[in-house]
Amino acid sequence: MRSLAEARSFEVKAAPKVPGSPDHDAVAAFRAETWELVRRIEGAAETLDRLEEKIRHMRAALTRTPGAEPALFGRVDAAGDALDRLRVRLSGDPVRARMNEPAAPSIRGRIGNVVSGHWDTRQDPTTTQRRDLEIAREAFAAFRDELAALVERLAELERALEAAGAPWTPGRGVAPG
């Protein structure tokens, strides 16, 4: 292969701002803000999966704990119900979705609309996309606080399981002694 000319370096610059052209810095900032929220939402979804597994193990351990108080079963069930409500807020109601029934948009659904509607374009985000991001951010802040409270509730339940003599469950430390 033979060279046609010498290699030359060059710098790529955005086209000058003309009426109606997007603000590339603002678009990049919007994408970065959106991506940060997506990252946190996906982390919360993984946390819900781990907590669901933990609750499943707690229920199984309780059935093998002869001295467990009936109220402890109720507390584990209540934690499972709280987790289910959080999952619906984060990801939507799967039963309604399967039946093609209308439902309030979930946090993930809102941010998904922003990503799918804006990710493959260089245009400024629409007012709707900006509003969806704002609503998702606010809803996620409240969700995150409730998720933290559930994590603490499960830690208390793990201590109660230990006190009741329940078999070991994943995530519970080794009993001192």
Domain that holds residue 106: 24-164
Query: In total, how many domains does the chain have?
Result: 1
Burial class (CB in 10 A: 0-12, 13-18, 19+), 33: middle
Residue 11 belongs to a domain: no
Identify the pLDDT of residue 15. Answer: 65
Q: Tell me the pLDDT tens digit for each residue of 81-120.
A: 999 999 999 999 989 888 989 889 999 999 999 999 988 8
Residue 123 belongs to a domain: yes
Identify the pLDDT of residue 59. Answer: 97
Residue 3 belongs to a domain: no
Q: Is the pLDDT of residue 17 over 80?
A: no
Residue 120 belongs to a domain: yes
